[in-house]
Structure 1
Amino acid sequence: MGERKGVNKYYPPDYDPKVGGLNKFLGTHALRERARKIDKGIIIIRFEMPYNIWCEGCKNHIGMGVRYNAEKTKVGMYYTTPIYEFKMKCHLCDNHFVIRADPANLDYVIQSGARRQENRWDPTQNEQIVPETKETQKRLFDDSMYKLEHGSEDKNLADSSKPRLAQLFNRNEDLWADSYTANQKLRAEFRKRNNELKDTVARDNKLLKKSSLAIPLLAEREEDKKMASLLSMKLKPSKSILENTESVRNKIISQSSLPTCNFSRSKEEKAVRILSKSKSDLGIVHKRNSTDISSNASEKKPKLSVSLVGDYGTSSESD
């Protein structure tokens, strides 16, 4: 109804044609409330979101095609094409985001307040038909040799794609030759999956009711079963091969490189007692001269030899 008000044909009795149009006579704009900021170069339009975005204010997802009342402003020119900027308020919070048109790349660029959900890819990687860029179109128009080479490449590409297209066509024909049977198999698969989901929901509801819980349950996995069995047996979960190898390596690095002996308390006390005795008690005899040896050759006195090794090794008599 708002659009009809600007083009109605009703003229009041006091209308003066010398003033100009009907809008000038009434002191209104043709766009009514949408032109309330026309003095600032801003008009209100209905803007449709060109792609999926994430609002930086509430962190919610806004899908492509959602419409907003946006403030449209001209911010520049790209050759003869005007560049417009659109400012709008998120319908889930008080955040505002600004989107600007990009005529050079035939796209829209987010300036602030939002973040684009990246769903873009290179169409040439999956053999999609890609329209020619402006640079390529201009070169095709100006350069005859490039046009001839480009045409030859397109022809070779078409010839190489024919076997693949024929294979896909034959597969489609074989698969859907009997549409009734194919549809029956598909519906049977869907019915089986639906029954499995119903059984899972019923089992989860029964478990939640038994445990007096009101939380969503996730699907059961093999790792969960293993962890539950280990917890029930009060055992620690087994380590992986890499963890065992790392623990052995750390043990080898931390231990001393020199050999160590284990001494008991009794062995240590016995060694202290032996070392505290005098030299005579230990049987240590000073070395005699050769004259003393010849004079006392007739007297053979056994020499006592006491090992200081103690329990560290076996003792033996020395000559």
Structure 2
Amino acid sequence: MGERKGQNKYYPPDYDPKKGGLNKFRGTHALRERARKIHLGIIIIRFEMPYNIWCDGCKNHIGMGVRYNAEKTKVGMYYSTPIYKFRMKCHLCDNHFEIQTDPANLDYVILSGARRQENRWDPLQNEQVVPETKEVQKRLFDDAMYKLEHQAKDIKAGEDAKPVLERLVERNRSVWDDSYEANCRLRAEFRSKKKELKAQKELDDQLLARNSLDIALLPETDQDKQMAELMMLQSKSAQEREAEKRLDILMKPALPGATKTTFGGLKRQKILNTHLQFGDLGIKKKTEPCTLAEKTVTTREENYTQNEDYTPLKDKGQTEKLKEEEAKVINLPNSLALVCDYNSSSENDSSN
């Protein structure tokens, strides 16, 4: 079929061979729409992103390998190598960015509209082939002795890497020598993974059905567990709620305009926690009148006796005053009976 491609073209009756081929006769280009700006030195090509970038317009990430319809323009020369510039539009916004080739460093340079994601490393750490600089290339071309030394370094590097390469080859041979065993291991791993995925899907479906959701659940991570534990709401027990109510009552001020203080709340809490005694309630037992008078006289005598500066009274006037005071104390029960003994009088009146 390939040999008939040039013969199966349609030539109209008014075709003039003097005008050239069919494209010139029809006034079109072989690239059709891709050559609509060819008069400006621009051709439309399919450009693949060489590395990860950030768009300056929408601030979105564009990964390596994403393809665009780009305008290719020749802007210069690096010795005999042309330098091209590519202009394309972001597929997520209306921003345009331009990328240019850099033959000197074997790289691409972003001119405008985007910035490169800085994720670079030394190629020597990965044992990659590092291109020689212009100075080294010039010395290799001009200096035979330097070229010989450089070849000796390359041979030594190859000898050093030979044991590692041999171990890798031996490992691959031992793993993949028996294709049946390798296939069995892979299929067993696939089956176990499939069972895990099926069990996880059943759990996800139950969770979605229980919460009436219709979303895709992502795999659970440790960070998700930590966030769920922090956001979990725990209900309080009845005892805790009752304790909070009691504490709120204690901390609430008695007067509407008063402000509650921590000291007052702590004082009330201490009062509630202590057990009240019989004497703390302000209730005193009723005592007999005679007993009260006797205790009073006895107490006065004890005070006189315990006083070290006490001396017998020799003055008759002081002795008489002391006797009068003792008589008043002795007659005290009779006066107290009139005030305190209401129960006995009421009982006598009722009996009469």
Relative to the length of structure 2, the TM-score reads 0.52
Identify unmatched segments of 5+ residues in structure 1. Answer: 235-301, 303-319
Matched, 1:143 2:143: yes
The Cα offsets for residues 102-146 of structure 1, whole Å up to 9 and x where unpaired, read as 122222222222333455433321223445444433322212222
- Contact preservation (8 Å) 1:204, 1:217: no
Alpha-carbon offset, residue 225 of structure 1: 9.4
Distance 2:233 2:23 in 1: 80
In structure 1, the partner of 2:220 is 219
Correspondence 1:73-152 to 2 at 5 A = 73-118=73-118, 120-152=120-152
The Cα offsets for residues 188-227 of structure 1, whole Å up to 9 and x where unpaired, read as 1222122112211211221222123445355154953993
Alpha-carbon offset, residue 49 of structure 1: 3.2
Alpha-carbon offset, residue 168 of structure 1: 2.6
- Contact preservation (8 Å) 1:42, 1:72: yes
In structure 2, the partner of 1:70 is 70
Indicate the SS of the match to 2:44: strand
Larger radius of gyration: 2
In structure 2, the partner of 1:279 is none
Aligned length: 230
Indicate the SS of the match to 2:122: coil
Structure 2 CA distance for partners of 1:186 and 1:232, relative to 1, 3 Å? farther
Q: Which runs of 4+ in 1 moved over 6 A?
A: 19-25
Alpha-carbon offset, residue 44 of structure 1: 3.1
In structure 2, the partner of 1:246 is none
- Contact preservation (8 Å) 1:52, 1:64: yes
Alpha-carbon offset, residue 12 of structure 1: 6.4
* Identity between Structure 1 and Structure 2 (%): 65
Indicate the SS of the match to 2:165: helix
Indicate the SS of the match to 1:126: coil
Structure 2 CA distance for partners of 1:141 and 1:224, relative to 1, 3 Å? same
The Cα offsets for residues 35-56 of structure 1, whole Å up to 9 and x where unpaired, read as 4434444333343433444433
- Contact preservation (8 Å) 2:54, 2:114: yes
Amino acid at match of 1:194: K
The Cα offsets for residues 17-74 of structure 1, whole Å up to 9 and x where unpaired, read as 5x88876776555655444434444333343433444433344454544443322223
Distance 1:119 1:128 in 2: 16
Amino acid at match of 1:167: R
Range 206-215 or range 38-47, more displaced: 38-47
Amino acid at match of 1:116: R
- Contact preservation (8 Å) 1:35, 1:44: yes
Indicate the SS of the match to 1:192: helix
Distance 1:187 1:204 in 2: 25
Distance 2:87 2:232 in 1: 57
Alpha-carbon offset, residue 86 of structure 1: 1.6
- Contact preservation (8 Å) 2:15, 2:25: no
CA RMSD of aligned residues (A): 4.0
Indicate the SS of the match to 2:139: helix
Indicate the SS of the match to 2:172: helix
In structure 1, the partner of 2:166 is 166
Indicate the SS of the match to 1:138: helix
Indicate the SS of the match to 1:170: helix
- Contact preservation (8 Å) 1:11, 1:22: no
Indicate the SS of the match to 2:147: helix
In structure 2, the partner of 1:195 is 195
Indicate the SS of the match to 1:85: strand
Structure 2 CA distance for partners of 1:72 and 1:218, relative to 1, 3 Å? closer
Indicate the SS of the match to 1:75: strand
- Contact preservation (8 Å) 2:41, 2:73: yes
The Cα offsets for residues 279-300 of structure 1, whole Å up to 9 and x where unpaired, read as xxxxxxxxxxxxxxxxxxxxxx
Identify unmatched segments of 5+ residues in structure 2. Answer: 237-308, 310-352
Structure 2 CA distance for partners of 1:29 and 1:231, relative to 1, 3 Å? closer
The Cα offsets for residues 74-113 of structure 1, whole Å up to 9 and x where unpaired, read as 3333234332212122334322121112122222222222
Give the structure with the higher percent helix. 2
